[in-house]
Structure 1
Amino acid sequence: MTALSFEFFPTKTDEGARKLQVQARQLADCNPEFLSVTYGAGGSTRNRTRETLVSARDATGIPVMPHLACIGHSKDQIQSILKDYKDLGISRIIALRGDRPSGIGTVEYDDFQYASQLVAFIREETGDHFHIEIAAYPEVHPQARSMESDLDNFRRKIEAGASSAITQYFFNPDGYYYFMDRIASMGINVPVVPGVMPITNYMKLARFSDACGAEMPRWLRKQLEAYGDDSASIRQFGEEVMTGLCEKLVSYGVPALHFYTLNQAGPSMAIVKNLNLA
């Protein structure tokens, strides 16, 4: 059976946090391996990330995994966060470089420049306590100079002590297959879990995909454009497309599927149900 995991982002209000608890409980019925919670640029959601982690775990009993981005953080700050997570009984973490907060050209601290440095620091400070996930980019990180430099960066993160990886979402499975062939040729054999983005809103998805380098095939854009404001048709079509993608990935033998829920349980659960993975 293909393992599952689901990602949330911290809400800004207590009411939003209560609604997220409801979504988390629904997704718990899919028996996920873990629930993950994102971390805002420059640590802007640090407290909310922690609150969301604890809330989701308490509401579901499912293990949780915090995102941790290092840009703008000192080593002392990262040490404090790691100690807190250990004290909470958290044993899984995803180590990221992260972005600077919007509109800010410099950061207060400059102890970390790359995710590989954060991975190495976590290993130095905590040994084997954490299962460390990293990000992977089958279609190449948007800021990478080339695919080769991006693969070299991936290798550095693995050599620093990463346990496994989760990919940026994608719509073309061939990119994932090629990425797996390339890292295998480099002697890298860690699990790489595909990230899955349910399709529910075309305009938002198109903007985000353009910004993060996730290629939307022309046929997909044109069909979604044709639905206009018909959100029900977009959602139904999106469910069919992403179910088909996931079926190909499961047949390929991926270790798991990681869903970017955008704090909505329904679209991800529909795909899981179609795959008979719940």
Structure 2
Amino acid sequence: MTTPRVSFEFFPPQTLDASFRLWETAQVLAPLKPSFVSVTYGAGGTTRKLTHEAVTTIGRNYGLNVAAHLTCVDATRAETMEIVEAYAETGVREIVALRGDAPKGATRFTPHPEGFASSVELIEALADDGRFTIRCGAYPEPHPDAADAGADVRWLKRKCEAGATSAITQFFFEAETFFRFRDAAEKAGVKAKIIPGILPIQSWAGAKRFAQRCGTSVPAWIEEAFAAATRDGREELLATALCTELCDDLLQGGVEDLHFYTLNRPGLTRDVCHALGVTPTPALEKVA
């Protein structure tokens, strides 16, 4: 099995305890030499300042290549490009460009009258700026707003034609889900690299809530496995085994990069990476 390149997603802290968790997560995972780490961006810019601070601190203190998330939600084009400029001034050279979810209390995304109407428009503006490597999102299973079964592949193609050079997928539970999407994207002419997004299951109840929100299907066999593991007190063991097996299946199918949604809890992600042969370099192990 080929050792994969890995990357990690963090989210900006909103409390002091959450700050400690983020810095611990960065410290634990930095020695694995990720190709990049990304920092999320709350709906409606609710974490805009926190995201900027986290991006800056992680890049400065841990020497990591940080990709900042950016969305189209509740901001004018001028306001969004001001954020882009602020990222550039702090040395950020990668952006994950997303449409973004509907703000709290809203059921659907509605573009700001003076804002970007879609991720495609945002990507076009970033490509015109010319200073950033642009990543985008991809959905192996239908996005809740998708018009039909093929819409997610068509949108991915448009985003790549607009300037995105790679895509990170929403999480999924079975490797075949990713392979079907990858094959459909290739058939549609998508040339950009598609990186599978991996969710180590810290909490099965939480993972199911995430899945319901983003349209990820939950296989019955995983539901049954966690029910049995909960009775026996083996949830963490099962979570590690399932995540490692999923990653191994992806690698066997030709995947070279894995992006982990860490939820700012590094232990399970670290253990899975170690099982896949991604281990700390000696120089950084002392820092951790």
Q: Is the structural similarity TM-score above 0.5?
A: yes
Q: Out of 258-267 and 103-112, give the one that drifted further.
A: 103-112
Q: d(CA) in 2 for partners of 1:223 and 1:146? A: 32
* 3-state SS, counterpart of residue 136 of structure 2: strand
1:89 match: 91
2:285 match: none
1:173 match: 175
2:278 match: 277
Q: Which runs of 5+ in 2 are unaligned?
A: 280-288
Q: d(CA) in 2 for partners of 1:107 and 1:184? A: 30
TM-score, length-scaled by structure 1: 0.94
Provide the aligned length of Structure 1 versus Structure 2: 275
Q: d(CA) in 2 for partners of 1:228 and 1:14? A: 31
Q: Report the CA distance shift for 1:240/1:42 in structure 2 as closer, same or farther (over 3 A).
A: same
Aligned counterparts, 1:121-136, within 5 A: 121-124=125-128, 126-127=129-130, 129-136=131-138
Please report how far the alpha carbon of residue 104 of structure 1 lies from its aligned counterpart in structure 2 after TM superposition.
4.5
Please report how far the alpha carbon of residue 225 of structure 1 lies from its aligned counterpart in structure 2 after TM superposition.
2.1
Please report how far the alpha carbon of residue 109 of structure 1 lies from its aligned counterpart in structure 2 after TM superposition.
4.5
Alpha-carbon displacement from aligned partner over 1:44-90 (angstroms, at most 9, x marks no partner): 10001011112222231111111101121111111111111111111
Residue 229 of structure 2 is aligned with which of 205, 227, 231? 227
Q: Does 1:117 align with 2:121?
A: yes
2:186 match: 184
* 3-state SS, counterpart of residue 260 of structure 2: strand
TM-score, length-scaled by structure 2: 0.91
Contact 1:33 1:63 in 2 (8 A): yes
Please report how far the alpha carbon of residue 110 of structure 1 lies from its aligned counterpart in structure 2 after TM superposition.
4.2
Q: d(CA) in 1 for partners of 2:273 and 2:10? A: 17
Q: Report the CA distance shift for 1:229/1:45 in structure 2 as closer, same or farther (over 3 A).
A: farther
Aligned counterparts, 1:192-271, within 5 A: 192-228=194-230, 233-271=234-272
Q: d(CA) in 2 for partners of 1:253 and 1:206? A: 28
1:48 match: 50
Aligned counterparts, 1:145-184, within 5 A: 145-184=147-186
Alpha-carbon displacement from aligned partner over 1:208-256 (angstroms, at most 9, x marks no partner): 11111111210001111233376x5111101101100100111222131
Amino acid at match of 1:27: L
Please report how far the alpha carbon of residue 160 of structure 1 lies from its aligned counterpart in structure 2 after TM superposition.
0.8
* 3-state SS, counterpart of residue 164 of structure 2: coil
Contact 1:72 1:100 in 2 (8 A): no
Contact 2:72 2:111 in 1 (8 A): no
1:100 match: 102
Contact 2:73 2:112 in 1 (8 A): no
1:36 match: 38
Q: d(CA) in 2 for partners of 1:242 and 1:107? A: 36
* 3-state SS, counterpart of residue 100 of structure 1: coil
Q: d(CA) in 2 for partners of 1:258 and 1:151? A: 20
Q: Which runs of 5+ in 1 are unaligned?
A: none
* 3-state SS, counterpart of residue 246 of structure 2: helix
Identity score, percent: 36
* 3-state SS, counterpart of residue 112 of structure 1: coil
Residue 137 of structure 1 is aligned with which of 128, 139, 155? 139
* 3-state SS, counterpart of residue 147 of structure 1: coil
Amino acid at match of 1:189: K
Q: d(CA) in 2 for partners of 1:186 and 1:97? A: 22
Amino acid at match of 1:63: N
